[in-house]
Amino acid sequence: MNKSPENNELKNTAFFRGISDHFKLVWALWIDPRINPLLKLLPLGSILYFLSPLDMVIPIIDDLGLLWFLTYLFIELSPEEIVAEHRQKIINTIYREWKEADDVQFDEEDIQDAEFTETN
């Protein structure tokens, strides 16, 4: 088993990227006019509950759990073809951004040195 710092860093970024992609998908579905307005009450209700002062057992855990569950339910109840369309857009955007960043070439002339001076 590879326990290198690079491997752990990749796992951490994949975890946070998954959370980010989840909420990007929720937002894309939320603004899509093809999604039933009543279905859009699920993520709205989860956000309102998350922000409300009423808590069940363990304040932050039940808030986050309900937020995640209701947004997951929102995605699952949305039409599959629309969800697949938005997921593909998210994947393409991420791939394009990484691809463009990898294609950037720097010459030594592009790099500039600077000195730091503290001002009051």
Domain boundaries, the chain: 17-96
The contacts of residue 72 (CB under 8 Å, 6+ apart) are 22
pLDDT on residue 101? 55
Distance CA 32, CA 74 (A): 13
pLDDT of residue 90: 87
Paired tokens of 63: 């808030």
Separation between Cα atoms, residue 24 and residue 29, nearest integer Å:
9
pLDDT digits (tens, 9 = 90+) for 58-104: 566 677 888 889 899 999 999 999 999 999 988 887 665 555 555 55
